[in-house]
Amino acid sequence: MPAPYDLHSHTRLSDGILSPKDLVARAAAAGIRGLAVTDHDTLAGVPEALAAAEGKPVRVIPGIELSVTHAGREFHVLGFFLDPGSPSLAVLLERRRDDRISRVREILAKLKRLGIEIGYDDVAAMGDISGTLGRPHVARALVAHGHAGSLDEAFARWLGRGSPAYVPYPRLHAKDGIAAIHGAGGVASLAHPALDDGDGVLESFQSAGLDAVEAWHPSHGASQVARFLARAESLGLLASGGSDYHGTGEGEIALGDPGCPAEAFAALEARSRRPSPR
């Protein structure tokens, strides 16, 4: 049975497939009581999601997934219970949007030198340009134009780290990203730590202001969930969980599977710096 809260989901405003409205409708149909919309480096989908939740038995939690650099590596930090109108966060996200556009254009220039002609408009058509664009959109364009048979092949052959068209993402230090989340009233959680080998850096992330770790994630087996729950308790961190849902065609991934237990959700909300909605 799905957990009642899912604190990791994506829409077309980043690399998901569904619109915010359709994502909320799917969450309501699945019995999700609380859904964090956590698009990559953007809050653009939050207003539509909040409006779509009116009159439905699902609460939308404004969220985000920031790409950050820590200890010389890239990690993702989730933010929950954010104030979508935070001026300081808006400035940061506008800069990150510009960084993403520049990165996509540089990737396309590399692909052109490799004999692959894909235009920026071809990539933009794979998402919603009012949000953010990234490598997943380039990968979809590569598949759509016959240069790769699958998204996995597109990353392995062209876009992944060490591949010929790879371009590193401009840096946002974890401490600054976490401070921006806190400045918007939110709680910061390290996303999918097993996937990113984040176990060894939890202590230094805590020193950077981290509040929680995503213990429940589709990439985590039972032993890894237990491991990160124990690590969180030992460090005084909270635990979050979510399906990392991107839309249809994802095999066995479903909203709320895994999710965040009600007790863990309540602890996260209590840690947030925003007043609870009435």
Q: Two tokens at 268?
A: 């996260």
Residue 70 above 90 pLDDT? yes
Two tokens, residue 75: 């990690």
Backbone dihedral angles phi then psi of residue 50, each to the nearest 5 degrees: -60, -45
Confidence at 248, pLDDT banded by 50, 70, 90: low
Q: Which residue has the higher pLDDT, 172 or 250?
A: 172
- Checking if the pLDDT of 277 tops 70, the result is no
272: Cβ–Cβ under 8 A, 6 or more apart, which residues?
80, 81, 185, 186, 187
pLDDT of residue 215: 98
Name the one residue in this structure whose structure tokens are 């984040």.
Answer: 198
Provide mean pLDDT across the span 47-67: 97
What is the token pair recorded at 94? Answer: 């506008």
Share of the chain above pLDDT 70, in %: 96
Q: What is the pLDDT of residues 71-95, one digit of tens each?
A: 989 999 999 999 999 998 999 999 9
> What gap in Å lies between CA 137 and CA 134, rounded to an integer?
6
pTM (two decimals): 0.90
What pLDDT, on a 0 to 100 scale, did the predictor assign at position 33? 97
CATH number of 5-85+173-271: 3.20.20.140
Listed by start position, the domains of the chain span 5-85+173-271, 92-159
| Position 219, amino acid | S
Out of 1.10.10.10, 1.10.150.650, 3.10.620.30, 3.40.190.10, which CATH number does the structure's domain 92-159 have?
A: 1.10.150.650
Residue 10 has pLDDT above 60, yes or no: yes
Tell me: pLDDT of 273 over 80. Answer: no
Structure-block tokens of residue 271 = 């840690």
The pLDDT value given to residue 1: 62
The answer to whether residue 275 scores a pLDDT higher than 60 is no
48 vs 19: CA distance, rounded Å: 9
pLDDT at residue number 48? 97
Query: Quick check: 261 pLDDT over 80?
Result: yes
Amino acid at 277: P
For the cut 50, the answer to whether the pLDDT of residue 50 exceeds it is yes
pLDDT at 274 (0 to 100): 60
pLDDT of residue 127: 82
Q: What is the pLDDT of residue 278?
A: 35
Residue with tokens 């062209």: 158
The string of DSSP codes covering the chain is: ---SEE--B--TTTT-SS-HHHHHHHHHHTT-SEEEE--BT--TTHHHHHHHHTTSS-EEEE-EEEEEEETTEEEEEEEES--TT-HHHHHHHHHHHHHHHHHHHHHHHHHHHTT----HHHHHTTS-TTS---HHHHHHHHHHTTS-SSHHHHIIIIISTTSTT--PPPP-BHHHHHHHHHHTT-EEEE--TTTTT-GGGHHHHHHTT--EEEEE-TT--HHHHHHHHHHHHHHT-EEEE---B--SS-TT-BTTBS-B-HHHHHHHHHHSSSPPP-
